[in-house]
Structure 1
Amino acid sequence: MIRLIAIDMDGTILSPDHTISTKNKQAILAAQSNGIEVVIATGRGFSEAYGPISDSGLDLSYICLNGAEIRDSFGDLLSATHIDENNISQITSILDAHTIDYQLFIDTLIYINSIEDQIDTFIQLAEAANQIPAVDKIRQEVMNRVERGYIRQVDSYNELINQRGSEIYKVFGTSFNRVNLDKARKALQLLPGLAISSSGAGNLEITDINAQKGIAVEKYAKSKDISMANVMVIGDSYNDLSMMERAGRSVAMGNAPAEIKAACTEITTTNEHDGVGLAIRAILQLQV
């Protein structure tokens, strides 16, 4: 009996134009009306996650930054896990040495060196899902966040790290050079206390070892007195693996890599074809 559904965003509940389809929304509402808890589990920060969910009219809780944050449907912080400040300089040194661009996630804000790099990040996510990115839509979305102050461009991270190094939730690295990216990943994996994942072939997601989607979903389920055997998760990428391995039912999107599909108990259609909605409807038919 599924009592909790955790859903990834990019490549999963979001269509290529970064919106939530009517069929996906209706399926989530049907699950909620049948007493099933639904939570978003994303690599995005809260400010990036809240917009598309709120715009769709859904009222959901959030696991953000790969599990570094858990927030309720009002956006209030329930749990926070930061990277050990002693690791930050080593992380940035490794990324700099391999010419990997990166962003810092602090509180609800993203600090970047280049707005274009942020736009490229979302283009890469779409391409990783084997889809044609809606470039104009992505650019507009990013620029709206810049105007609202959710994304802040800085010339150098040094002062920010000196002042707020203990508050960093996630470091997100991107590169089109896969060789350098792999070298950086291997070097980062040697550092203790870190989780190294990715949401696409061209990026690295660096968090504390305890900030993983699987750990956060389990923590959230426990707060609701729900066993992981009664949890279903839906995702499409490597940063979803930790929750797929823990959940009683795991669903891979049709656009997921073969390794992700192999790790799941079932496969649905792509995010272009309402894969989330179809997976939820299948559960409801079994349970209702």
Structure 2
Amino acid sequence: MIRLIAIDMDGTILSPDHSISTKNKEAILEAQSNGIEVVIATGRSFSEAFEPINSSGLTVSYICLNGAEVRNPFGELISATHITKDDVRKITSILDTETIDYQLFIDTIVYTKDIEAPIDAFIQLAKAANQIPPIDEIRKEVMGRVEQGTLQEVDSFDDLIQQRGNEIYKIFGTSLHRQHLDNARNILHTLPGLAVSSSGAGNLEITHALAQKGIAVEQYAKSKGVSMESVMVIGDNYNDLSMMKRAGRSVAMGNAPAEIKAACTVTTTSNAHDGVGLAIEAILQLQK
């Protein structure tokens, strides 16, 4: 019996244009009306995650930044796990050596040295899913965050790391050069205390070792008195693997890589074809 559903955002609940379809929304509302807890589990910061979810009319809790923070439906912080300043310096040195662009996630703000970098990251995510990126919509969404102050451009990260190096949740690196990413990933994996994953072929997501979706979902489920056998997770990429391996029922999106599909219990349709809604409807039908 599924009692909790954890859902990824990009490539999963969000359609290629970054909206939430009517079927996905209605399926979540039906699950909630049947007493099933629904939580978003995303690599996004809270400010990036909240807007599309709230705009759709949904009320859920949030596991953000791959598990580095958990917030209730009102945005109140429940838990936080940061990278140490020493590790931040090691990570950024590795990324700089490999000429990988990166962003720093602190509280609800994302810091970048180039506003085009987050735009390119979303475009690459769409391409990785074999979809045509809605560039105008992506740019509008990103520039909206700039206006709100939740995405800020800085000339250098040096002062930021010096002053707030122990407050960094996640470092998100992007590159069009696969070899550079592979080189950095291999070195990062040798550093203890870190979790290194990705949400697409062109990026690296680096957090504290305890900041992983699987750990956060398990802790959240426990706080609700729910065993992992009664948890269903839905996702599409490598940063979802930790929760897929722990859940009683794991669902891969149709647009997920083959390795992700192989790791899951079932596969649904793509994020362009209401995969989340169909997966939830299927489990609700089984539990009638």
TM-score (norm 2): 1.00
- State how far apart, in whole Å, the 1-side matches of 2:114 and 2:276 are: 33
Where does residue 248 of structure 1 map in the other structure?
Answer: 248
- State how far apart, in whole Å, the 2-side matches of 1:87 and 1:70 are: 22
* Amino acid corresponding to residue 116 of structure 1 in structure 2: E
* Amino acid corresponding to residue 147 of structure 2 in structure 1: E
Question: Is it true that 1:84 corresponds to 2:84 in the alignment?
Answer: yes
Secondary structure (helix, strand or coil) at the match of 1:272 reads helix
Where does residue 232 of structure 1 map in the other structure?
Answer: 232
Offset from partner CA, 1:137-178 (integer Å, 9 cap, x none): 000000000001000000000000000000000000000000
Tell me the matched-pair count: 288
Where structure 1 has 5 or more consecutive residues not aligned to the other structure, the ranges are none
- State how far apart, in whole Å, the 2-side matches of 1:73 and 1:271 are: 24
Q: Post-superposition shift, 1:61?
A: 0.4
Q: Post-superposition shift, 1:285?
A: 0.5
Where structure 2 has 5 or more consecutive residues not aligned to the other structure, the ranges are none
TM-score (norm 1): 1.00
- State how far apart, in whole Å, the 2-side matches of 1:21 and 1:142 are: 20
What is the RMSD computed on CA atoms of the aligned residues?
Answer: 0.4
- State how far apart, in whole Å, the 1-side matches of 2:34 and 2:276 are: 17
Where does residue 29 of structure 1 map in the other structure?
Answer: 29
- State how far apart, in whole Å, the 1-side matches of 2:128 and 2:68 are: 23
Alignment of 1:272-287 (within 5 A): 272-287=272-287
- State how far apart, in whole Å, the 1-side matches of 2:230 and 2:45 are: 27
Secondary structure (helix, strand or coil) at the match of 2:83 reads coil
- State how far apart, in whole Å, the 1-side matches of 2:128 and 2:73 are: 29
Q: Post-superposition shift, 1:129?
A: 1.2
Where does residue 51 of structure 2 map in the other structure?
Answer: 51
Percent identity, aligned pairs only, is 74
Alignment of 1:1-288 (within 5 A): 1-288=1-288
- State how far apart, in whole Å, the 1-side matches of 2:44 and 2:163 are: 23
- State how far apart, in whole Å, the 2-side matches of 1:24 and 1:160 are: 39
* Amino acid corresponding to residue 201 of structure 1 in structure 2: A
Q: Post-superposition shift, 1:269?
A: 0.3
Runs of 4+ in structure 1 displaced over 6 angstroms? none
